[in-house]
Amino acid sequence: MPTDFTGKWKLRDSYLFEEFMADCNVGLLKRQAAKMVSSEHHIVQDGDKMSVTVVATGQKGKQQEYSVGGSFSEQEVTGDTAEVSTEWDGARIKEIHNAGDFTYTLLRELQDENTMVLHLESPKGTQAKRIYKKM
């Protein structure tokens, strides 16, 4: 039985995220603006099927619909289009974002029933962490 990420999650802490964004060619102004953004992930999961709505104050959100084990396309904050491949990595969901000029990895995991952690690894090896709490 896969881990169930269903719920509304609000960003509480972020570590090395600005450095991660710099490694992914995000400009200084967008990195500065990202510090001020409050982010939420609204997730509905049915087995391997994921629906993730990202709501960010002052910025355009995004909607992801995919089945773990498949792939989808999305626009990165840089404006580049990325092909995103997904797979289960134990109880975590691994996403590999390939935007042509850069590739990064995101691992989504539940630390406990009220804490979701996104582990991000940049093309240059910076390991950022985004910690979300269930609302």
Q: How far is CA 116 from CA 22, 44, 96, in A?
A: 24, 14, 18
Task: Report pLDDT for 79.
Answer: 80
Q: How far apart are CA 2 and CA 71, in angstroms?
A: 18
∠65-69-70 over CA atoms, to 5°? 50
Q: What is the pLDDT along the chain (135 residues), one digit of tens a residue?
A: 578 999 999 999 999 999 999 998 888 888 887 777 789 999 999 999 999 999 987 777 789 999 999 999 998 877 889 999 999 999 999 999 999 888 999 999 999 999 999 999 999 999 999 999 999
